[in-house]
Amino acid sequence: MIAGDSEDKVETSARVQHARVGVNLRTGRPTPDAVRSAVQRILADPGYRARARRIGDAIAVAPGAAGLVDDIEAMLVARE
């Protein structure tokens, strides 16, 4: 579950919802009932865990900044 309506939280919340790895509570001040409902929804649906695990696994093997540099250099070479 994710909540927030300041800084980059709106964008982050939209990404969480789109990836279907959490419930976007669409507010910076969720009610206890909204939090409870979101937690119950997430715990009842194993798809949330599976999708979050896939994203976590992808992050774990991602090359990070060094990979980004490699990708940019490869694109520049390809344009020559």
Is residue 47 domain-resident?
yes
Spacing of C-alpha 4 from chain mean position: 14
Is residue 3 domain-resident?
no
Q: Which domain holds residue 31?
A: 9-79
Tell me, what's the pLDDT at 45?
97
Identify whether the C-beta of residue 24 lies closer than 8 Å to the C-beta of residue 14.
yes
Tell me, what's the pLDDT at 80?
79
Is residue 28 domain-resident?
yes
Query: CA angle, corner 18, sides to 14 and 20, nearest 5?
Result: 120
Residues in the chain with pLDDT values less than 50 = none
Is residue 4 domain-resident?
no
- When divided into structural domains, the chain yields a total of 1
Is residue 36 domain-resident?
yes
Is residue 57 domain-resident?
yes
Could you tell me what percent of the chain has a pLDDT over 70? 100
